[in-house]
Amino acid sequence: MSLALPARHLGEALGSLRTLGRRTLLALLGIVIGSASVIALVNIGDNAVEDARSIFKDLGTDTLVVQFPAQAGDQATLPPTLDLDALRQAVPGLAQLAPVQMFSAPVSVGGQSTNASVVGSDASLQGAMGLRLRQGRFLSAFDRSGNGAVLGAQLAETLGSPVRPLQVGDQVRINQDLFQVLGILVSQPNAVLVPVVANDALIVPFDAMRRLQARTRLDNLIVRVAPGRDVTVTGKALEAALARLLPGRESSVQVAQSILDGLTRQTRTFTYLLTALGGISLVGGGIGVMNVMLMNVAERRREIGVRMALGARRRDIRNLFLLEAMTLSAAGAACGALLGLLFAYLYARFSGWQFSLAGGALPLGVGSTLLVGLFFGLYPAVMAARLQPVEALRDD
């Protein structure tokens, strides 16, 4: 087929597809659905990954949490505190290092009372968890054992009344002890890994915990790694240092990044699965193309014979039918692209995600559709080209 006349050949291809009528429409529908599902599913998967990332972005992928898992009969071996300064010196790159001890207790202000998670920590918790204050101030280095407290947003709301909201300077009762409200936190999302639920927390100085509980123990360390430091490497160093400082005591360091990576990997796996599903429906569409092209070839056997008698070479015949199959798939790819993007957009809207066009969705969807059209169009086209002229022209 000479390249000088592409417009005319395209016109002929369109004309012959039109004469096949409803069958062409059905094949087109199949390829549109296949192409649309590839594009929609790739895009939806990509948006899901983006959404998962954005949810966990604020929690700080630079956060490490050290846990001290309970061991049978080891209550005595756990030191109530740890030499944090020694730890800071042993492990470079720790921007914030906050000890955490937690227990649940009823707290009350005036007539209002509720259960709160009482958190003993120090000034570095603010940096380690990225806490922001709505009112007042956070614990300072001078509040080591004083009776100041910082309340989470949700807790402050529960303890206040609409008539008289909780304010800095109010007294909060925990068991028999009174603490003065130093500050109230801004409401913030839960951080993955970090055991402290900031919104429900009542944060008091670490050493003040002695007055509240008979036996104090260090539950966790919340660590923020300095910018530019490799979180995983720092985590390993921290683990080694802890093993040295607390001999015989097991500690486990959890890295937020690795959990995030796991999550992302999981979401990606789903994306691959979805893409494979889209691919399967695309193959179904391709079989539809092959079907309509085989009928097309059978119905136009005589025309093939006439064209051969007039001097069409095998490749002219092959290209004639291949062009029709490709025209069909290109039209399907174009409609599928629009439909797929529309579907992905609606899906993102109804899932409350941010819609964004995934870079790979369109090239992958359109490319695979054309490839499928080529693959399934090739067999009928080659069959047509292999016909012997005398057989193609025979009446029967």
- Phi first, then psi, for residue 223 (nearest 5°) are -125, 135
Residue number, 19 or 75, with CB nearest to another protein: 19
Q: How far apart are CA 51 and CA 35, in angstroms?
A: 24
Closest CB 4 distance from another protein, rounded Å = 6
- 322: its two tokens: 């291949």
Closest CB 396 distance from another protein, rounded Å = 13
Q: Hunting for tokens 């390249």 — which residue is that? A: 3
Closest CB 300 distance from another protein, rounded Å = 9
Question: Could you tell me the sign of the dihedral formed by the alpha carbons of 54, 58, 62, 64, in that order?
Answer: negative
Residue number, 224 or 307, with CB nearest to another protein: 307
Closest CB 322 distance from another protein, rounded Å = 16
Closest CB 31 distance from another protein, rounded Å = 23
Backbone region of residue 240 per phi and psi (left: phi > 0; alpha: psi in -120 to 50; beta: other values): alpha
- Phi first, then psi, for residue 111 (nearest 5°) are -90, -20
Radius of gyration, CA atoms only, the chain: 34
Closest CB 33 distance from another protein, rounded Å = 29
Residue number, 12 or 51, with CB nearest to another protein: 12
Residue 274: CB partners within 8 Å, gap ≥ 6?
41, 42, 44, 45
Which residues here bind another protein, judged by CB under 8 A? 2, 4-5, 8, 12, 15-16, 19, 302-303, 305-314, 316, 388-390, 393
Residue number, 222 or 385, with CB nearest to another protein: 385
Neighbours of 43 (CB within 10 A): 29
Residue number, 15 or 165, with CB nearest to another protein: 15
Residue number, 74 or 391, with CB nearest to another protein: 391
Q: Chain-centre distance of CA 291, in angstroms?
A: 40
Q: How far apart are CA 20 and CA 204, in angstroms?
A: 79
Residue number, 11 or 189, with CB nearest to another protein: 11
Closest CB 285 distance from another protein, rounded Å = 26
Closest CB 393 distance from another protein, rounded Å = 7
Residue number, 49 or 312, with CB nearest to another protein: 312
Residue number, 5 or 277, with CB nearest to another protein: 5
Residue number, 306 or 378, with CB nearest to another protein: 306
Closest CB 14 distance from another protein, rounded Å = 10
Closest CB 314 distance from another protein, rounded Å = 6
User: Are the C-beta atoms of residues 261 and 308 closer than 8 Å to each other?
Assistant: no
Neighbours of 349 (CB within 10 A): 11
| Pick from 70, 198, 183, 187: nearest CA to 125 | 198
Closest CB 8 distance from another protein, rounded Å = 6
Cα-based angle 5, 6, 12 (whole degrees, multiple of 5): 95
Residue number, 12 or 157, with CB nearest to another protein: 12
